[in-house]
Structures are given as C-alpha cells and as structure tokens.
Chains A and B, each alone.
Chain A
Amino acid sequence: MRKAQLNIGLVLVGLVILAGVLSLLWTPYDPIRVTSNRLLPPGWPHLLGTDGMGIDIASRLLIGARYCLIVGVISVGVAAVVGVPLGMLAGMRGGWLDELTMRVADIVYAFPALLLAMLLAAAFGASTGTAMAAIGIATIPAFARIARAGTLQVVASDFVLAAKAAGTSRWGIAARHVFPNIAPLVGVQASVGFAMAILAEAALSYLGLGTPRPTPTWGAMLRDAQDVWYTQPVQALWPGLSIALAVLGFNLLGDGMRDVLDPRLREVK
C-alpha cells in the first residue's frame, strides 16, 4: 500500500518534471504567438484545442509545468534553507532565543499569505519572483516548527548525550546527529510544501498576483479559461487537472518518502 503510494507519487511528479524539461527543448506550437485559430475544441493537430488567443493549449501546459517546478523548488528552497537552521538553532539553544524564534514564527504564520503576496506585488510588481518570495516566506514557520520539534526530540535522546560524552562539539552534534535524524521530517514537509506552493502559485496567478501575461502558468490559464466558461468549459479542465495531479503527486511522494528516508524502517541487507 505504502509502496503503491510512493510509486504513484513518483510517476505523477516524474510526468511534471518530464513536461517541464521537454518544454525547454520543444513545444508543439509557439506558446506565445497569437493566431486566428481561436477556441478550437480538442482534436488534431491541436490535441487539447486552442485558447481565446488561438494559442495551442498543450504547448502552454508544458511551459506551465516548468513554471510550477521553478516556483516549487525556489519557494520550498527558501523556506527550508531559512526555516530548518532557525528551528534547529531554537531547539538546540533553547531559552529566550527559542521563545523569540517561535513567537516570530507564530506571527508570520498568523499573517495571511495572500495578503503578503498582495503586499509584495504592490511594492515590487506582480511577477513569478514576488509570488515565490511570498510563498517561501509564508512557509518558513512550517519548516522552523517541524525542525525545532524534531531537534528537541533528538537533543533529549541518549545518543546525543553519548555523543557529548565522547567529546562531540555542538556543531558536530547538529551536523552529524540532529540533522540526519530530522531529515526525514524535513523531506516530508518539503514535499507537502511543494504541493502547497504549486497550489498557492496557481491561486496567485489566477488572481493576477503571480506570473503576468503572456507567460503561461497553470493558474493564469485557469483564469483565462474562466472567460469562456459557458462556451468552452473543457478549457478549464486541462490546467485544473494538471494542478490537481501535480499536487496529488507531491503529496503522495511526501508520504512515501517518509518510509524510504528513515533507516530504522530500511530492510536488513
């Protein structure tokens, strides 16, 4: 059962990555050039039809996969690179530093991510960058909290005391004992965070706070499809389905990864 989860997750994520990489090399049609073949239904040669500007939807979906990956990697990367060390520091040092870090995390958590995105978009102009920054900053607390919780558990364990008794320094304990032990937690959080980032970026693009036209992101495509909802409802299906499958894929991957990354659950050779 677990194995199946992981495999389905891997296949879905693999498809997104494949589409993203493929879009760098080749797309069936020019994803930006406006043509007169407007609103064609799915068929040949436009497999998924064309949109209101006469652009091939399949081509736009491929490019959208690339943006969805970039957004996921960068926003999760920002959140993890900032959040995990903060959480580890808070957990290992304790005291006022721990208190301060966690209260700041609470404040950031309480601040609506959408508001943050609007703020950044207003200040710096709506772009993929501001969307990624907003999503990244908004998910830092999730990483900091999970890293702190894991660190507290590891630091209280006998093997850390034993490592200290063997003369390991604080840094050594953080790098060789704490981090490897919380890595599965962080990995799972990263995968779930990836799914959330994709969803958030789609929402932001849909609202016009993310990647601007004419760059085809899945959220932006969903927004465009809304204009022709009564005549061409199938147009909303493609980006919607892509988002749903990508989110599902990363979530399943996260769940499955927990088992693989944990050496306690690895089978004896």
Chain B
Amino acid sequence: MTLLEVEGLSVRFGRRRRRAIEDVSFAIEPSQRLGLIGESGSGKTVTALALMGLLPQNAAVGGEIRVNAVSVRDLDEHSYSRLRGDAMSMVFQEPMTALDPTMRVGRQVAEALLLHSRHQAGSSRKSVMAMLERVGLDEVGRIADSYPHQLSGGQRQRVCIAMALINSPDLVICDEPTTALDVTVQAKVLQVLNEVLGAEGAACLFISHDLAVVSQVCDQVIVMLDGRIVEAGTVAGVFSHPEHPYTKGLVATARLDQMPPGERLPTVPDFYRGQL
C-alpha cells in the first residue's frame, strides 16, 4: 500500500490568493526515500508544511493528501495532531531554534514520546536515552539534562532527529536538515539519519537544494521550480540525463569541478537559452 499520495496539491496565501505551489503530485512508498530539490522560494517547505497540516491560517489548500490511503484533508485538528509525531514527523532546517530554550532536551524528546504512548515517566527516560544513543550522541545522560543553548549545532540536530524518530514514524519529512551545519558535521548527521531511517524502515521526504546530499540519501527525486514539479525520476536518471532545462542547469552548476579553469562558469539561464 502506498504510504503517502499527494494529488494536485495547491497552496495559495492571503486575500490576494498568491500561488505558492500548484498541481503538485507525487507518491511515497513505505521506506522509500524521496528527494525534493529546488531553489529558495520554489515551494519545497510549503509542500512539507502542507503535508504536516502546519501551514498558517491564511493558507488555502487544494488537492488531495492521503496517508495510508486515508485522506488527511478531512481530519479535524485533534485527529491530525495525533498523526503528527506518530505516523509522520519532521526535522527542521535550523537546529539552533527548533528546540525550546527553556526546556531540557531530554524532556523535549520525552514529550514527543509521551504524547503518543502510554509510557510511564521512568521508562520514558530509558527510551529517550536509547534513542539519543542511536543518533550517535555520547554522554547521553549529560546531554539529556542540558538546555539547548549548551549544545552544539550538530548535537542539537541529532536531538531533533531523535525527537522525530522516537515514535518510529512511517514518514519523516526532513526540511534541509543539514543546510545550517558545516560540511563535516553535515556528513556525520547525514550518516546518522541514513542509519536510523534504515533501521526503522521509515520513509523519508528529503528536502534540500544540495544535489550531492540528495544523491547520498535518496533513491527517487523530484525537482520543483516556481511552485510546480518540473521533473521526477530516479536519482541516477535525473542527475545523469536531466530533461528540463532548469534541471540541466542545476546539475551542470553543481559540477563546477569539471569546468576548465578560466572559463566563464555556467548559470541556470544559459540552459534556457539553448531551448529557444
């Protein structure tokens, strides 16, 4: 059974109904990793928030979203919030602000656990520790008792991953989880994410604008431009034989190391010109 089906999803904002995304359709099978790439403002995050039902009130959503063949568009807020964090969860871009500064991180992870299970406080601590260990944190006792400002960016993002995965969700939406981290920390966090997703058998919608990162994590990829999907396929297929001029531009500009030195670097508009 298909885990997530999105059909003709569109989101418009505000009184003037400005279009954010239009006619977005894709599907995710259980334990599949789908990459979503596109430039800033192309509608990646809006798509993610629409799936989670977390768009602001001034957003008008159209189309169909089904999780495990059940339409979530008809769910009331209460039923939807039971789904969030349990069947589907999310890792955010900015680990510095995604944790409550007034709460010890162990409690924040426990909170996510207790919201969806009948754990007792004592056994929840044990599960939290185990989860923190699985995302590769050392000294989990000390970390669980720390406030977010006492941890580094990489540690915080691991805590966020622990929070997203503690209820063994079917689908994890990662919204540029490594963009705010430096390259070495990014590699470690990606490795952890890969391992934990694999171990849990969780599907993943991985949003990024870094093609290399997407090719490390995902098997399928969709490319968004200006609120629409312009290309979709396997990572190998799309990256080796891009069809849409925008994708061609993206792939070529990501391989600057293959450019002869001294020549003008390619830009995405160059690839549109070839089409005309």
**Chain A interface (Cβ < 8 Å from any Cβ of B):** 94-95, 157-159, 161-169, 172, 176-177, 180-181, 183, 263-264, 266, 268
Contact = CB atoms under 8 A, between A and B. Distances in A.
B90 A162 contact: yes
Contacts of B83: 167
A168 B103 CA distance: 15
A268 B98 contact: no
B115 A162 contact: no
Given A166-B111, A166-B112, A167-B116, A266 B147 contact: yes
B112 A167 contact: yes
Nearest to A157: B97
B92 to A, nearest CB: 6
Nearest to B145: A269
B111 A159 contact: no
Contacts of A164: 52, 54, 81, 84
> Could you tell me the dominant secondary structure of chain A's interface residues?
helix
A81 B56 CA distance: 29
Contacts of A183: 102
A263 B92 contact: no
B54 A165 contact: yes
A263 B99 CA distance: 13
A163 B97 CA distance: 12
A228 to B, nearest CB: 53
A162 B98 CA distance: 6
B161 to A, nearest CB: 12
Contact of B102 (A94, A95, A263): A263
B94 interface: yes
Contacts of A166: 84-85, 89, 111-112, 115, 163-164
Contacts of A165: 52, 54, 84-85, 89-90, 92, 164
Contact of B100 (A94, A95, A169, A181): A181
A158 B115 contact: no
Contact of A264 (B92, B149, B163): B149
Contacts of B90: 162, 165
Given A158-B92, A166-B85, A176 B111 contact: yes
A86 B261 CA distance: 64
A162 B111 contact: no
Contact of A181 (B84, B86, B101): B101
B160 A162 contact: yes
A169 B81 contact: yes
14 contacts: A95-B57, A158-B98, A161-B92, A161-B98, A165-B84, A165-B164, A166-B163, A167-B82, A167-B86, A169-B78, A177-B102, A181-B100, A183-B102, A266-B147
Which of A158, A168, A180 counts the most chain B CB atoms within 10 A? A158
Given A162-B90, A172-B115, A263-B102, A167 B97 contact: no
A267 B99 CA distance: 18
Given A161-B54, A162-B160, A168 B100 contact: no
B150 interface: yes
B85 A158 contact: no
Contacts of A158: 92, 94, 97-98
A88 to B, nearest CB: 15
Interface string B60-78: 0000000000000000001
A159 B84 contact: no
Which of A95, A161, A162, A177 counts the most chain B CB atoms within 10 A? A162
